[in-house]
Amino acid sequence: MQQFVIEGGKKLSGEVKIAGAKNSALPIIAASLLTDKKVVLENIPDLIDVRTMIELIQHLGADVIFNHHVLKIHTSKIKKIDAPYDIVRKMRASYYVLGALLARVKKAKVSLPGGCAIGPRPIDLHIKGLRTLGASIEIKDGFINAHTRKLLGHEVNIEGPKGTSVGATINVMIAAAQAKGETIISPAACEPEVIDVANFLNATGFDITGQGTHRITIKGKSSATDVKYSIIPDRIEAGTFAAAAAITRSSITIQDCCPDHLTSILDKLEEIGVMVERGEDNIVVHGTRRLHATNIFVTTYPGFPTDMQAQFMALLSIVPGTSTVKETIFENRFMQALELMRMGADITIEGDTAVINGVNKLSGAYLMASDLRASAALVLAGLVAKGKTVVRRIYHLDRGYEKFETKLRRLGAKIKRQSE
């Protein structure tokens, strides 16, 4: 295994370019299985999760070439309908092939998914939505077994106890693209990644409207065309670098991003005293010494994203005053708190709420990453901590950040990757 070794206390400066959105790339790659035409995807991040999804669609029959962030896919024929455990266990988003396979070949056998251990993330809403379209689904021996004679358009309600589901919205949207008749997903998730998948499907020749609202309409079509499509920038990577500027009290220009997708994140930074300049496709973040506490309520888009909660906990741990973070999406997503406390942070967990009393400084420590975003939070804490910080199990981070330490070094951080 590999680890990061960080010498804290270095100011950051300069520019960083943001990669394509992981959470768009994965379902769009899966959605390419809908068509036997040629698909060219641009701005694809080179991540472990992306490589895993490529491995999965190759297993299913796709011919793939991936070079310099351009992914060329041609699936003239689906050769297999199973998504095996050895692939799916590496990445939860593998379940997106379920909707695509049902639409294309009317059957699928997908292993129950793996991914980060951040609490229960049931796929019941995916199953509910696909059943509404006419799929017969049973879970047996760790696999989702699905088949259908014909998918039929229908009104689909996939709201769960935590609100709308991004994954279920996308999976149903992919399946409904080739269903007979009209499908309406209501309430649908509104995240930018949902819009991106819908826009890709439209570019491929399908008919989807309402993306970005809570009511998405899909008019099923069986034909598609060759397509070239560029995915959106990764708003979570951009938000993470914005938090890096804030925690180190530095100024960073973040290029190739979409500021409109970052509104809740940037608003919260400004609320605690960080200066933010918003451009058309860039932001400049000026970390200041006079920061103050805040309260964060994690919720679905356009609210504050759960994928930025850990990074902000690291930031708020050295902001004077008492801050709170209420996590409403995943019940086990405070695992970074214990590691931050080992660095000197004053954090108390009360159910779904973290109470953070800002301290003057953090101290370097040996840390264990538990999941993707917690990994990023520990690296941010290490950037500002006194002394040396070692973050182990960084394979979590490599699932969602491309060349993270390289980008940080270019900004002036003293961070290196080495074998444990």
Q: Say which range, 113-122, 146-155, 329-338, 405-414, has the weakest mean pLDDT.
A: 113-122
What pLDDT shows up at residue 283?
98
- % of the chain surpassing 70 pLDDT: 98
Whether 224 shows a pLDDT value over 70: the answer reads yes
What pLDDT shows up at residue 122?
63
Average pLDDT, stretch 208-234?
Answer: 96
What pLDDT shows up at residue 234?
98
Helices 372-384 and 235-247: angle between axes, nearest 10 degrees: 20
Enumerate the CATH 3.65.10.10 domain ranges in the chain, comma separated. 2-19+233-419, 22-230
Whether 388 shows a pLDDT value over 80: the answer reads yes
What pLDDT shows up at residue 405?
98
- Three-state SS letters, the chain: CEEEEEECCCCCEEEEECCECHHHHHHHHHHHHHCCCEEEEECCCCCHHHHHHHHHHHHHCCEEEEECCEEEEECCCCCCCEECHHHHCCCHHHHHHHHHHHHHHCEEEEECCCCCCCCCCCCHHHHHHHHHCCCEEEEECCEEEEECCCCECCEECCCECCECCHHHHHHHHHHHCCCECEEEECCCCCCHHHHHHHHHHHHHCCEEECECECCEEEECCCCCCCEEEECCECHHHHHHHHHHHHHCCCEEEEECCCHHHHHHHHHHHHHHCCEEEECCCEEEEECCCCCCCCEEEECCCCCECHHHHHHHHHHHCCCCCEEEEEECCCCCCCHHHHHHHHCCCEEEEECCEEEEECCCCCECCEEECCCHHHHHHHHHHHHHCECEEEEECCHHHHCCCCCHHHHHHHCCCEEEEEEC
What pLDDT shows up at residue 118?
36
Q: Which residue out of 116, 190, 257, 258 is catalytically annotated?
A: 116
Quick: pLDDT tens for 250-271.
999 999 999 999 999 999 999 9
258 part of the active site: no
Q: What is the mean pLDDT of the chain?
A: 95
Quick: pLDDT tens for 311-352.
999 999 999 999 999 999 877 779 999 999 999 999 999 999
Average pLDDT, stretch 96-118?
Answer: 83
H or E stretch covering 327: strand 322-327
What pLDDT shows up at residue 269?
98
What pLDDT shows up at residue 116?
42
CATH of range 2-19+233-419; options 3.65.10.10, 3.30.56.10, 3.40.50.80, 3.50.50.60: 3.65.10.10
Quick: pLDDT tens for 18-32.
999 999 999 999 999
CATH of range 22-230; options 3.40.50.2300, 3.90.25.10, 3.65.10.10, 1.20.1300.10: 3.65.10.10
pTM of the model: 0.95
Average pLDDT, stretch 274-284?
Answer: 98
Could you tell me the pLDDT band of residue 402, with boundaries at 50, 70 and 90? very high
Whether 121 shows a pLDDT value over 60: the answer reads no
What pLDDT shows up at residue 117?
43
